[in-house]
Amino acid sequence: MSSQQYRVLICDKIADPGIDLLRQIAEVDIKTGLDREELADIIGDYDAVVVRSATKIPAYIISRADRLKVIARAGAGLDNIDVAAAENRGIKVVNAPDANTRAVAEHTLALLLALARRIPQADASMKQGRWAKSQLKGVGLSGKTLGIIGFGRIGREVAVRAKAFGMRVLVNQRRPTPELNLKLGVEAVDLVDLLRESDFVTLHVPARPETRNLIGAAELALMKPTAYLINTARGVVIDEAALLDALNRGQIAGAALDVFVSEPAVDSELARHEKVIATPHIAASTEDAQLNAALTVARQIIDHLQGGPVEVPLSLRVVPMDKVIPHEHVDPRRVARLKERLEQEGVLANPPIAIESEGQFVVLDGATRTTALKELGYPHAIVQVVKDVKHINLRSWYHAVRQIDPTVLVKLLDDLPEVSMVEADPQTVWEAMFEGGGLCYLHTVENKVYFIQPAPRVNHLEAMNRLTHTYITNAHVSRTLNRDIAALQTEYPDLAGLIIFPEYTVEQVLQIARAGRVFPAGITRFLIANRVLRLNASLDILKADMPLLEKNRWLANFVTEKQRSGHIRFYQEPVFLLDE
């Protein structure tokens, strides 16, 4: 099908670059403000339709869409689209769940600050010619408790920002994740405790039958009279009549609402209430978020109309570099050396290993390679995608610290304000590390053992990164899986001590990476079967100004040709590579 035979209808305003991208392969019509019957009359003429939140695509509209192949929502939610009806007719539904994450989190914090410091009232008084300084005393955020209901992408971003203000953070979600147990100051609690203890409560759950009226009269009655409620999720998750009653009776101090059950909420008594800060569903409305959403759905439409994503043999894939995220720190010196080698050789020998998680590719092995490519300005990367965590085994490396006096090493670490270090029993320290949530323990060649924990009010990962950076920059470190200190002294005569880390789970690593945090370098060791080595893919293709789909087609042909010519060999047994 030629590009002129595709037709795309845009029903709500999206960023121009997304429209320009679609026009490369289709005729694009922009028709905003259509009512139900107007949309039903024309939907049958289009291959794809793009909406945001204003336009609804119910089953009736879908029944009239004889030609439609893709429905795209340039945003996160899909509650304005009858997804089941679309799927029953074989219509693909796509959205951009990551595009507005930071924008919504930032708006949530803006509303929180506006509530705490009474900014709208202060602004209004100034515009009325009043200097109401003594009447506008606010509350500080440091030491206050924020309750986050729903701890997905947006909830996690809100938590990171709230912690920067020194807030205690409580979270409630349907399925608690291991990440919650790793983050100091973020406590997983049930909904009742969260409502009772929080000074501010913010909602970040999707609109589903089980979340409708999630916050009603009973829940509002649990909140402190000084507490505030914030909603940037969906209007239906709050019983608006119950909230209005609670505000009128002084049951809670106030609310900040960006979403309403019925929108536009121009006649909403709740929006006009003196204790409510109201915004017209603009949490996701930043230039950055709208640009990302438009480009994301445009690329998905193009991929689907032109035949869908290309399946590359051996689970290899070309992916956008901005979707590739590390799970660990890298050594800048190794990155610099690899950048020089990549530019000299012009090929990518061993593709990084990654797992797709919430629209991003978390690098399990190959952080140095992806960082080098990113710093060299490559828009795309080749990764080998692990499709199931069941195929991954994770071990922890131990760090043999060398070329430093053991006494100096102990003092160096003990002086760090981010950690707490106590001498421990060698027989019980391993169990104590798990039970006490320790960072690690140090076993010196003098046979002394020290249990190391984060200092009070210090984030677990921040403490671990500070600790490892300190001894790596002051000594020489070799990675090992051997915990036998006597055997290691034979292997390393200059050994001072062994740092032993706990075992982590793959899910913990993914949760930390998705939250924008990283492990220290050289702790996680992923054991992955069927790795691809010596791919030797041309970096000129990766750097070329070509659509992602075309690069994946090139990669598929490149690997398929290697298969046909017998250049691929599978080794089932472990091997030693002496030229790495």
pLDDT tens track for 58-96: 999 999 999 999 999 998 888 899 999 998 888 999 998
Band of pLDDT at residue 238, cut at 50, 70 and 90: very high
Residue 181 pLDDT > 60: no
pLDDT digits (tens, 9 = 90+) for 326-340: 999 988 888 999 999
Domain ranges of the chain: 3-95, 101-124+139-278, 310-395+504-580, 398-500
Where is pLDDT greater, at 186 or 381?
381
How far is Cα of residue 39 from the mean position of the Cα atoms in its chain?
Answer: 35
Cα three-residue angle 419-422-426, rounded to 5 degrees: 125
Helix (H, G, I), strand (E, B) or coil at 70: strand
Does 200 score more than 80 pLDDT?
yes
- Identify residue 405 by its one-letter amino acid code: D
- Using an 8 Å Cβ cutoff, are 370 and 363 in contact? yes
For 340-396, how does the pLDDT look when each residue is reduced to its tens digit (9 = 90+)? 999 999 999 999 999 988 778 999 999 999 999 999 999 999 999 987 777 788 899
Active site residues: 234, 263, 281
For 447, half-sphere exposure in the C-beta direction (CA atoms, 13 angstrom radius) is 3
The whole-number pLDDT of residue 576 equals 64
Pairwise pLDDT comparison (574 vs 149), residue with the higher score: 149
CA pair distance 321, 361, nearest whole angstrom:
9
Which residue type occupies 215?
A: I
Of residues 404 and 513, more confidence is placed in 404
- Checking if the pLDDT of 570 tops 80, the result is no
The pLDDT of residue 173: 84
Render the burial of 533-549: b for 16+ CB within 10 Å, e for the rest.
eebebebebbeeebebb
* Residue 307: pLDDT band with limits 50, 70, 90: low
Q: Which residues contact 267 (CB under 8 A, 6 or more apart)?
A: none
Q: Note whether 3-95 and 101-124+139-278 share their fold.
A: yes
What is the C-alpha separation between 53 and 282, in angstroms, rounded? 11
Q: Are the beta carbons of 199 and 225 closer than 8 angstroms?
A: no
Structure tokens that stand for 232 in this block: 């940037």
Q: Quick one: tokens of 240? A: 């608006």
Q: Give me 366's structure tokens.
A: 């190959």
**DSSP string across 478-519:** EEES---HHHHHHH-TTEEEEEEPPP--HHHHHHHHHTT--B
> Which one of 3.40.50.920, 3.40.1360.10, 3.40.640.10, 3.40.50.720 gives the CATH number of domain 101-124+139-278?
3.40.50.720
For residue 164, give the amino acid letter.
A
- Give the count of beta carbons closer than 10 Å to the beta carbon of residue 479: 13
Average pLDDT, the chain: 90
- Between 191 and 547, the more confident residue is 191
pLDDT of res. 3: 43
- Of the candidates 224, 233, 158, the one whose C-alpha atom is nearest the C-alpha of residue 194 is 224
Q: Helices 16-23 & 287-305, crossing angle to 10 degrees?
A: 20
Whole-angstrom Cα distance, residue 343 to residue 471? 32
Domain spanning 310-395+504-580 has what CATH number?
A: 3.90.1530.10
Q: Is 2's pLDDT higher than 70?
A: no
Q: What's the confidence (pLDDT) of residue 1?
A: 43
Can you tell me the distance from the alpha carbon of 274 to that of 545, in angstroms, rounded to the nearest whole number?
A: 54
Q: Rounded to 10 degrees, what is the CA torsion of 170, 175, 178, 183?
A: -10
| Rounded Cα distance, 138 and 121, in Å | 11
Element (H, E) at 158: helix 153-164
Choices 3.40.50.150, 3.40.50.300, 3.40.50.920, 3.40.50.720: CATH for 3-95: 3.40.50.720
Task: Kindly tell me if the per-residue pLDDT of 486 is higher than 80.
Answer: yes
Q: Is the CATH number of domain 398-500 3.30.1760?
A: yes
Mean pLDDT of 19-38: 94
The mean pLDDT of 280-289, rounded to a whole number, is: 92
Q: Helix axis angle, 332-345 relative to 367-375, nearest 10°?
A: 70
pLDDT at 572: 57
- Binned at pLDDT 50, 70 and 90, residue 435 comes out as confident
pLDDT > 70 fraction of the chain, expressed in percent and rounded? 94
Task: Kindly state the helix (H) or strand (E) to which residue 241 belongs, with its residue range.
Answer: helix 240-248
DSSP secondary structure code for residue 43 in this structure: G
Instruction: Compute the radius of gyration of the chain from its Cα atoms.
Output: 28
Q: How many CB atoms lie within 10 A of CB 29?
A: 14
Q: Is 224 exposed, middle or buried (0-12, 13-18, 19+ CB in 10 A)?
A: middle
pLDDT at 178: 54
